[in-house]
Amino acid sequence: MSNIIETEGLSKQYGSVYRVKDVDLSVPEGAIYGFLGPNGAGKSTTLKMILGLAKPTAGEITVFGKRVNSKNRLENLKNVGSLIESPSYYGHLTGAENLRIFQTLRGVPKQNITEVLKIVRLENQQNKKVSQYSLGMKQRLGLASALLGYPKLLILDEPTNGLDPAGIQEMRELIQSLPRKFGMTVVVSSHLLSEIDQLATRVGIIREGELVYQDSLTKLHQYSQQHLAVRTMNNEVTKSFLSQNGVAWEAQDDYLIIPQMKDSMIAEISKVLGQNNIGLVRIEERKKSLEDIFLELTGTAVSL
């Protein structure tokens, strides 16, 4: 599968501070790429650089296999729809008039307006002034603007920001339907792990401008595999015993964390500990949550 977006050493520096540093993004065709990170981690800056709205300090951006420069930027963006930070709109005009402006400037057929209004379910509110729209409706109008040219790539920066739970659900369903219905590749950024978890097929996690994880969501879930937490009357002796028998361990508070293993093996360990007068007082099954992994990767509290 080819990559729709590839960045290499992408960096953005303001003064001496790196907002984005050496980011190597790869977004495969047809994927819903979840770009995850805490607020201020550099998600929007990265996406703005891909769209040419911010100039990289260093690095290369390749979109649709073509290296992006100031000359071919707009030509490349003909196949890209975007919604950055918040929806762009003219509040004094109606939804349909807003779309007419962007449709005319994009040079796409007029009938696309009716179609995208249907996709985002705004056809009944199209003649209402956008200033009277709710935030959710404005977000949907923003998505409609991005969809006008039926782009191959859709870049959505925090599309559910400020929406109520029903709005979030609706937006999520809309985004999920796009690759299936129109063969689009979608990059969606968020600071909400739960949102990306429900949406994305591939994930990139950014922390303080650096990409700390990039792979499939399935692999990220593998990090959350089960393990065992053991507490004994003498953890020090237990540590040597486990090491002698080739069992990996990790001390955590009063517990020793060991990998998941067969019941027979656990029974054996328990028996040997008993024979050595080491009382086994706790044995628990534990599972790292996705939040724990996110916390480990980003080093910050999860915005959930």
Proportion of the chain in helix, strand, coil states, percent, rounded to 5: 40, 30, 35
Which residue, 93 or 280, is less far from another protein as judged by CB? 93
Which residue, 143 or 278, is less far from another protein as judged by CB? 143
Question: Using CA atoms, how far apart are residues 69 and 46, in angstroms rounded to an integer?
Answer: 15
Residue 15 binds to another protein (criterion: CB under 8 A) = no
**Least separation, in Å, of the C-beta of 291 and another protein?**
32
Which residue, 68 or 203, is less far from another protein as judged by CB? 68
167 in helix, strand or coil?
Answer: helix
Site for another protein in 122-151 (CB under 8 A): 130, 145
Region of 88-96, 113-121, 200-208, 295-303 interacting with another protein (CB under 8 A):
88-96
How many helices and strands, by DSSP H and E, does the chain display?
Answer: 11, 15
Which residue, 76 or 232, is less far from another protein as judged by CB? 76
Region of 99-107, 170-178, 260-268, 285-293 interacting with another protein (CB under 8 A):
99-107
Question: Using CA atoms, how far apart are residues 65 and 289, in angstroms rounded to an integer?
Answer: 37
**Least separation, in Å, of the C-beta of 84 and another protein?**
5
Place of tokens 């057929």: 109
The tokens for 31 are 């994927």
Binding residue for another protein (CB under 8 A) from 2, 15, 16, 105? 105
Query: Is-contact 67 141, C-beta < 8 A?
Result: no
Q: Give the residue among 175, 133, 23 at the shortest CA–CA distance from 124.
A: 133
Q: Give the residue among 155, 94, 163 at the shortest CA–CA distance from 130.
A: 94
Residue 85 binds to another protein (criterion: CB under 8 A) = yes
| DSSP string for 277-302 | T--EEEEEEEE--HHHHHHHHH-S--
Region of 2-10, 93-101, 167-175, 276-284 interacting with another protein (CB under 8 A):
93-101
Site for another protein in 48-77 (CB under 8 A): 48, 51-55, 74, 77
Question: Using CA atoms, how far apart are residues 173 and 180, in angstroms rounded to an integer?
Answer: 11
Residue 23 binds to another protein (criterion: CB under 8 A) = no
Site of interaction with another protein (CB under 8 A)? 48, 51-55, 74, 77, 80, 82, 84-93, 97, 100-102, 104-107, 130, 145
